Chain A
């Protein structure tokens, strides 16, 4: 990025701080490829890059009061994109550390009786009823993040819930579903 572009972005951000929506819209669209390029250094898959790029945009939105037009915009933007990419990477590593790959989970068995547990989980009616029984916030989190497979940022924008609240809702929903399906299994046995 050359310094002229950086200066222009700085002016757009200064206008956005004053409430100019057109300037802000233009700025966010223009900086997106630059953000993606930084995020791509830390994240490989396209979905992941887009997810983190959206998180960077949300962060820029939250901390836009910290930009000082007397200082280079590119440095401010680069620091935020880099920092949030690293944060996402750390979250990913932490999350991976808590998950275990179990090949048994993907196996089915010749004996129909042995597949009973798996069949119960695959029963879409049971699952739909279990999801319907969840509180509205948790149900919305499951629908947006797991059924529609939206990213956290998209789900946040669509539901009006914060990213943090969505994560908590999803976590609780999964626990609740496990409990409901566990009880269901118990009844089927």
Chain B
């Protein structure tokens, strides 16, 4: 073998200074901050705020919104943490409570809508448009997030990518609520979740090559 001695000499001989990555929480906050600014511009320019404010008066609707947004924020933080070699895989559980809150409150709201509206409360509202929205917003958000996560060259890229996918899809689902002038039905909710799942699957597949700098 050229032996490990030779390899060490070669690695040390070619050594170049590297820029140390900033703490993951700070990097996540910077990305979330930029997305927050862009979201405010989008909402201020295009959202139907009176309708949204009317819907947001319902505390259960607010609970759903909080669950959606928290899932997005926590999943993005978890993705940054998981991208580093020495962080616990348990970070993957960080968004689970808020995800349960989101799904639980959405399901309750759907059930209530069904009870109030009868059979009309069960059919599809504009669920397909919502699906398109979440995927269309989730993918570019995901690409921008991948660019940052890639710098860590994750040793296990697939969980990182899946977590990033959950984060961006949840943020897209949260933004959707500002452009969603009706209460969701079960079919709508299923399509929302299907869209989130689609983004997670796409991100997971993309992560295999997009984040895996160590592939061999």
Smallest CB gap from A168: residue in B: B216
Q: Which residues of B contact A63 (CB under 8 A)?
A: 85, 152-153, 155, 214
New contact pairs (12) apart from A66-B21, A157-B10, A164-B216, CB-CB < 8 Å? A21-B15, A54-B4, A54-B7, A63-B153, A63-B214, A66-B84, A66-B153, A68-B21, A69-B20, A157-B2, A157-B6, A157-B7
Smallest CB gap from B22: residue in A: A68
Q: Which residues of A contact B15 (CB under 8 A)?
A: 16, 19-21, 24
Smallest CB gap from B213: residue in A: A62
Q: Are A57 and B8 in contact (CB under 8 A)?
A: yes
Contacts A19-B15, A164-B216; A76 near B155 (Cβ below 8 A): no
Give residues in A with beta carbon < 8 Å to B: 16-22, 24-25, 28-29, 32, 50, 53-54, 57-59, 61-69, 71-72, 75-76, 79-80, 83-84, 87, 150-154, 157-158, 162-164, 167
Instruction: Provide the bound-state CA to CA distance between A72 and B84, in Å.
Output: 13
Contacts A150-B1, A164-B215; A65 near B151 (Cβ below 8 A): yes
Interface core residue of B6, B20, B213 (most chain A CB under 10 Å): B20
Q: Which residues of B contact A59 (CB under 8 A)?
A: 155, 214
State the Cβ distance, B206 to closest chain A Cβ, in Å: 18
State the Cβ distance, A155 to closest chain B Cβ, in Å: 9
The 8 Å CB contact of A65, one of B1, B4, B8, B18, is B18
